[in-house]
Structure 1
Amino acid sequence: MTRNQRNSPASEKPSERSATKARRDLASDTAAHALRLLEKVRSAAESRTAKDRVTDPQTPHAIVVGGGIAGLVAARELRQTGYRVTVLEAASSFGGCVRRVDVAGLEIDAGAESFAVRGGTVVSYLDELDLGEKITPTTGVGAWLIQGEGENLVANPLPATSLMGIPAQVRNDDVRRIIGRAATVRAAADLVTPMPKKWATEKLSLAEVVRNRMGQGVLDALVAPVVNGVYSTDPARIDIDAAAPGLRAAMQETGSLAKAVAKLQGDAPAGSRVAGLDGGMYTLVTTLTEQLTAASVALVANSPVTKIDHDPQAQHPYTVHSLGQELTADRVVIATEAQAALNLLNPMFEDSKRISSEAVSNSVALVVLVVDKPELDEAPRGSGALVAQNAPVVAKALTHASAKWPWLAEQSGPGTHVVRLSFGRIGQHEPIVESGDTQALLEQAIKDASKILGVQLNQDDVVGSAISRFNDMVPLQGEEASARRAQLQDAVQDFDGLDVVGAWLAGTGLARVIGHTRRSVAISAR
């Protein structure tokens, strides 16, 4: 196959009409298959229930709504504590935000690609799954920051020792090059300014702390690009304790934000605070689904849940409706995105406890490009780059994945490179993302990659591409998120055996999602 053949868009392929019909037939067959599987699950559950009445009447049935990471983790916890478990997933595959695409013969993460090492939450969980030996560090190559206005673009390495963009050494050349001399002098005031005692307990946003301690220059030029690139949101919307656990206590102990960052980060080299899995993070999904299937957990894809009924007096208090079928359960875990979860929960709540499901537009997209470009062998922008909001680039971040992950570099080989570009910020309208125009997004990704990498890329250099969209993203944390979480906890406590988990409650990142899910399921385990 020639490069041009591999690049041909779907609209150029022959028999488009028959291909469309085939996709429709496949979708119909998929739904029918899901319905048959769901009917088997229902019949099997009824048979097991009848048998349990004679043998073990205490064996409960749990239904997990949503087959993302939170749902799969919850299913495993429940199965290990003796539940019969059914997982109902609306999509055709499991994993949620942990996804994989096959591009130009390479299997590439099209969602989460790494996890935070600090705290050990994910590492210990991977060990439990016998995946410890597959944990792999990054290459250690640092990231860059892209700034500029108009058509002027400036690229600089990010400070090696920093946390969420907050520098531990405010006077070094890396910081000065990015924020300028005047802003550096202002940032250094953090080292001699007394720490407010009230900061030990009062509610603080990440933006508020950085602005007060180091100034607007550090916030705008360093922290905001990192937070926008990693979490797709504004630092003002993130609570400092959620963004950087332990930072508040370290500030009180050291009397300085910079010293607190240094205390938390130590002398860790670039890239050592995150890790991945050999073969990609999607290995976590395949391992979980394989182990759940082996443990007789029913995994049912293409099965959207439309309603949940609750009758506390019934033998099985919950009835879950999907594809016209009714499944009864003793326990339910809702592990969907925010909008879908609230659509199921609110009809169960009293009017006074219903939670607003109005959401600000927050779609984001990830474009994966596999390019034939030997000039990138030198990794001109390290492991990737974060983009300041005023820079002449639409993408908010770029990851040079084959420069970041040794296993991917080995698979792709010299001259072939994998780059991932992120578009869209939470709470902001990004026309190129919201339009749904795949071709326009792909062309913009190639244009932005050229600017960010400093190497001219053309359509002919692209040997494969894929686009992954995420439509119900949420900030890491914020006052609105905290208030909604408290309101939800108050409403759910009236329902014995009902849990709600997921990134919209736990925050962004596998460590938060896995930890929150395990705690939530364990707290109400019976």
Structure 2
Amino acid sequence: MSKDQRSENQPAQQPQAPAPKARRDIATDAAAHALRLLEKVRAATEAQVQKRAAAKPAEPAAPHAIVVGGGVAGLVAARDLHQTGYRVTVLEASDSFGGCVRRTEVDGLQVDAGAESFAVRGGTVAGYLDELDLGAKIVQTSGQRAWLVHGDEQKLLADPLPATALMGIPGNVRTDEVRNIIGRTATVRAAADLITPMSRKWATEKLTVAEVVRSRMGQAVLDELVAPVVSGVYSTDPAQLDIDAAAPGLREAMQQTGSLARAVAQLQQDAPAGSRVAGLEGGMYTLIEALVDRLQEAGALLVRNSPVASIDHDAESAQPFTVHTLGQELKADRVVIATEAQPAIGLLNQLLDDEHQISSDSQPNAIALAILVVDKPELDDAPRGSGVLVSRNAPVHAKALTHSSAKWSWLGEQGGPGTHVVRLSYGRIGEADELVASGDDAALIEQAVKDASKILGVQLQPEDVLDSAVSRFSDMVPLQGTAAAQRRTQVRQAAGSIPSLDVVGAWMAGTGLARVIAQARRAVAISAS
């Protein structure tokens, strides 16, 4: 039976679906639901106090831990706390868990709207996924190369990035790939790295990525190769990125090999394109779903739409912390602050005296992703590989583009031939981007279509776009400069002065799921007894 015949056989009068609730009604329902859950926490806490008073010393009640923030760090901390004997409550200010790991539906496809991959090196994330029984869902990229768009209005160029590179730093400077991007003269300058002695002072002094690359390989390698990669991955300038934070082990390899290029080659050996990162079938949000499911199955209480206004601490109390949210006061034996930097510092400062207040000032760091699903068979051959980084001088507003359906086979198969998912990234730390700050999604999508055409070398028209979405991030990218490092030290010292208080998250741990997961687990690695 055809679709038209099915339509003709249906009754003429169909029951009307109930009208969707107004936004105000939905928000009210969410707040009421959160209040009901919080009342359960408060009642349970009071009962726990009474139980403690009457219980024998040999049968202590389970201590209560409150995690403020339901992103990756908060959920990881919550799970570990439960496994060490805590009764756990997670309070999330927004209407969804996951933080920088998000998912959105675009033209019927479930697409990552935040982090889409994880670093394989070290095995931290893969090991954690195994703990969650997600190891079988780990998938490799398609192996497509990454490209670089550079040039100017007169001549826009696109070239594959060096196959053996780290943050754009080539492991072999004498290749056509490097020469095509930086030119012959700059390539000769870069090759001086291979014969220039390595200064001994480089073994210990603080160094930025920019300092290392400029000194060893020259300004052209920094500007044309490294800066686009660092901007696309870290949303910042190489001059603000500590070499040890960005590339653990590189400094030691430089001392061993006597060359930056040889050090990169040593770290990247036997690592073909795309093999240094992996993802999950169905997207990285599968991790969030698994964490939420495990916590709920274990009896943890996860509350959405529950922003925390303040935290009090009384060291003499049986339960020293009082967390204030939606007019409720929740008692806790332990608190983990797992929010973005600004709210986290605001909550922490409430617990500190005037002399030890921590500055919450930060540079502009709003980031936006424009996600397009397009009907364009010309992209079936992935003309720009798995993704493209953009030189700052190129006449393109976006800093990077990921051809997601070319990078992840599972997504390409779901979309089918001719249908492609591309994600364009906008915004850099320390720079106010008017388009990102405006909050105008329609304008951002319009710009994304223009930028995608230039980056991919295939003209896209508005009618080629089947669907689109915008995902915005504010205060979520960790700063890597000296000031940020000093602030993190202050936060660690302040939290360490208050027993049973921890602060976790990407702004404390550094960029990447491996760092976030490892830091959250270290912070709460203590017995509940």
TM interval, short-chain normalised: over 0.9
1:525/1:476 CA distance change after superposition, 3 Å = farther
Residue 65 of structure 2 contacts residue 88 of structure 2 at CA under 8 Å; is this kept in 1? Answer: yes
2:324 maps to 1:328 = no
Of the candidates 446, 459, 464, which is equivalent to residue 462 of structure 2?
459
| Aligned mates of 2:430, 2:25 — CA distance in 1 | 37
| Aligned mates of 1:51, 1:462 — CA distance in 2 | 61
| Aligned mates of 2:436, 2:479 — CA distance in 1 | 21
| Aligned mates of 2:29, 2:495 — CA distance in 1 | 37
Shift of 1:33: 1.3
Residue 295 (structure 1) aligns with: 298
Residue 51 (structure 2) aligns with: 51
1:294/1:406 CA distance change after superposition, 3 Å = same
What letter corresponds to residue 425 of structure 1 in structure 2?
R
5 Å matches for 1:304-323?
304-323=307-326
| Aligned mates of 2:478, 2:23 — CA distance in 1 | 35
Residue 146 (structure 2) aligns with: 143
Residue 405 of structure 2 contacts residue 420 of structure 2 at CA under 8 Å; is this kept in 1? Answer: yes
Residue 14 (structure 1) aligns with: none
Residue 162 of structure 2 contacts residue 170 of structure 2 at CA under 8 Å; is this kept in 1? Answer: yes
Of the candidates 345, 349, 353, which is equivalent to residue 352 of structure 2?
349
Residue 184 (structure 1) aligns with: 187
Residue 26 (structure 2) aligns with: 26
Residue 193 (structure 1) aligns with: 196
Residue 13 (structure 2) aligns with: none
Q: TM-score, normalised by structure 2?
A: 0.94
| Aligned mates of 1:227, 1:496 — CA distance in 2 | 38
Residue 152 of structure 1 contacts residue 392 of structure 1 at CA under 8 Å; is this kept in 2? Answer: no
Q: TM-score, normalised by structure 1?
A: 0.95
2:402 maps to 1:434 = no
Residue 112 (structure 1) aligns with: 115
State the superposition RMSD in angstroms.
1.3
Residue 40 (structure 2) aligns with: 40
| Aligned mates of 2:171, 2:518 — CA distance in 1 | 28
Shift of 1:44: 2.2
Of the candidates 132, 136, 139, which is equivalent to residue 133 of structure 1?
136
Of the candidates 187, 203, 215, which is equivalent to residue 206 of structure 2?
203
Residue 9 (structure 1) aligns with: none
SS of the residue corresponding to residue 414 of structure 2 reads helix
Of the candidates 501, 505, 515, which is equivalent to residue 502 of structure 1?
505
5 Å matches for 1:484-499?
484-499=487-502
Residue 278 (structure 1) aligns with: 281
1:295/1:49 CA distance change after superposition, 3 Å = farther
SS of the residue corresponding to residue 326 of structure 1 reads strand
What letter corresponds to residue 363 of structure 1 in structure 2?
A
| Aligned mates of 1:150, 1:484 — CA distance in 2 | 41
List per-residue Cα deviations over 1:263-310 (Å, max 9, x = no partner).
Answer: 101031100000000110000000000000001110000000000000
| Aligned mates of 1:519, 1:461 — CA distance in 2 | 48
What letter corresponds to residue 458 of structure 2 in structure 1?
V
5 Å matches for 1:79-478?
79-475=82-478, 477-478=480-481
What letter corresponds to residue 214 of structure 2 in structure 1?
R
List runs of 5+ in structure 2 lacking aligned partners: 1-18
Greater shift in the superposed pair: 26-35 or 256-265: 26-35
Residue 516 (structure 2) aligns with: 513
List per-residue Cα deviations over 1:129-178 (Å, max 9, x = no partner).
Answer: 11100000000001100111235311000001100110000011100001
Residue 4 (structure 1) aligns with: none
Residue 85 of structure 2 contacts residue 527 of structure 2 at CA under 8 Å; is this kept in 1? Answer: no
SS of the residue corresponding to residue 146 of structure 1 reads strand
Greater shift in the superposed pair: 390-399 or 515-524: 515-524
| Aligned mates of 2:479, 2:215 — CA distance in 1 | 21
| Aligned mates of 1:254, 1:247 — CA distance in 2 | 10
Residue 118 of structure 2 contacts residue 278 of structure 2 at CA under 8 Å; is this kept in 1? Answer: yes
Residue 145 of structure 2 contacts residue 385 of structure 2 at CA under 8 Å; is this kept in 1? Answer: yes
Shift of 1:438: 1.1
| Aligned mates of 2:266, 2:156 — CA distance in 1 | 33
Q: Percent identity?
A: 69
4+ residue runs over 4 A deviation:
523-526
1:524/1:484 CA distance change after superposition, 3 Å = farther
What letter corresponds to residue 31 of structure 2 in structure 1?
A
Residue 207 of structure 1 contacts residue 235 of structure 1 at CA under 8 Å; is this kept in 2? Answer: yes
| Aligned mates of 2:456, 2:527 — CA distance in 1 | 50
Q: How many residues align?
A: 508
SS of the residue corresponding to residue 133 of structure 2 reads coil
Shift of 1:28: 1.5
List runs of 5+ in structure 1 lacking aligned partners: 1-17
What letter corresponds to residue 72 of structure 1 in structure 2?
L
Residue 505 of structure 2 contacts residue 516 of structure 2 at CA under 8 Å; is this kept in 1? Answer: yes
Greater shift in the superposed pair: 22-31 or 311-320: 22-31
| Aligned mates of 2:476, 2:74 — CA distance in 1 | 17
Residue 12 (structure 2) aligns with: none
Structure with bigger gyration radius: 2
Greater shift in the superposed pair: 167-176 or 467-476: 467-476
What letter corresponds to residue 30 of structure 2 in structure 1?
T
Residue 3 (structure 1) aligns with: none
SS of the residue corresponding to residue 98 of structure 1 reads coil
What letter corresponds to residue 218 of structure 1 in structure 2?
V
Residue 478 of structure 2 contacts residue 508 of structure 2 at CA under 8 Å; is this kept in 1? Answer: no
